[in-house]
Structure 1
């Protein structure tokens, strides 16, 4: 991907983030604004499909370029009672559930997840707010886990259900989704280590998604369950993610 194209996408994302921060309630009540967001998303998808190779690897960096001050944004410490209890017990009772449209549902402890085929990569995290940081991630490769669970033929997407809430009410819990192209990308991992240490709570402990060809809001933290689905119209706001339900693009490729 060219530097100019990446810069343009980051600038566009930063502009959208600024609009949300400055007046999201007013904007979401505007049919003109939401119509503009929908048109922009359709255009972005068309451009991405025309020029992007979705199987290409994201750039990886030497250890000397790891950012000493990698920011943690969004939720930094979930207060859900179940999560707090797991955190205080060192995540000994944590189980990563993989279910939905699968033949063999899984419930993996951290130890079991660590025993699965893994990958380590040093990549750049690009936030929709306009900043970037480089970090080292180690985690289980998602593709082999899906093969172990056995995706059913009708499965088209994966939904990541998380432990953190960013808003009140039943639709305030964070969630994200990706398609199977990204799910089987070799750099898509369920990270349990960051910079050669256990994943810190502010960065999504015990497990977070790393889908390196997309912007930061797709990198779901505090992942509790992965649900294979045919579509996500029935989930929350029906757009496939917490921020997507509030106007962000579903496909945030970079």
Structure 2
């Protein structure tokens, strides 16, 4: 008997899209149906699952010998390349939007903040998985330090990598933003992030699929709605290919 899981369904859907079904997914009617299904899945999962439930964590002996570099491997943005050349010495993370105290933090400041280390499995929509160790700042600490507005509902991550003229971006709601395993990682496997893996900072939202794990994060923006962010779908692939915004696993 074949067990159909949410991840299997998403992987199968990705295969269809890669086979040339983008036009079907792009249909307004189909996208509306998919969105309704997504909302039902998210609501159902949160009804039966503790909102603070942790994704599985592993031991150092479980680390994958090769963790695939996926998506952008080296952003072509001139400003980013200059940061790489200077070892990110004058790079800053901006935390703004619906906050009372906007932040501008250096990499050194982020690395000096309380950190969380977790060994988790990365599940890609393309069908591969890998286990890695991540160390970084819990996102909730940054949002609290910036005094998040009670009217904010989402957190948007703006990135340095560019896809066909559009910077990569992703978003999560506050349930995920305040989850203890949601971190902005600056180390992988006890080493500073490589450029291929998203240096100097990448999102780890461990209860969702790989395309939500935004690399090269430059700005964290708190918003009340996703409607005004690019195409309004909440992320690059959500807007471009109809991927589900909620990618829970």
TM-score bucket of the superposed structures, by smaller chain: over 0.9
The correspondence for 2:18, drawn from 18, 21, 46, is: 21
TM-score (norm: length of structure 1)? 0.92
Instruction: State the alpha-carbon separation in 2 of the partners of residues 45 and 217 from structure 1.
Output: 17
Higher mean Cα deviation, 49-58 or 73-82?
Answer: 49-58
Give CA-to-partner distance per residue, 1:186-214, whole Å, 9 cap, x none: 11111000001110111110000011111
Name the residue aligned to 2:225.
231
RMSD: 1.7
> Following superposition, which runs of at least 4 residues in structure 1 exceed 6 angstroms of deviation?
none
- C-alpha separation in 1, matches of 2:169 and 2:103: 19
- Alpha-carbon shift at residue 28 of structure 1 (Å): 4.5
| Paired residues, number | 247
Q: How far did residue 92 of structure 1 move?
A: 1.0
Rounded to whole Å, the distance in 1 between the matches of 2:103 and 2:189 is 28
Quote how far apart the aligned CAs of 1:239 are: 1.1
Matching residue of 2:246? 251
Partner of 1:45: 42
Equivalent residue number for residue 126 of structure 2 = 129
Shift of 1:36: 4.1
Q: Please list, as runs of the form range in 1=range in 2, the aligned pairs for 1:1-254 lying within 5 A after superposition.
A: 8-23=5-20, 25-168=22-165, 172-245=166-239, 246-254=241-249
Shift of 1:67: 0.3
Would you say the 8 A contact 1:37–1:248 is kept in 2? no
Structure 2 residue runs of 5 or longer lacking an equivalent are none
> Displacement, 1:129?
1.4
**TM-score normalized with structure 2 length:** 0.93
Q: Give ranges in structure 1 of 5+ residues lacking alignment.
A: none
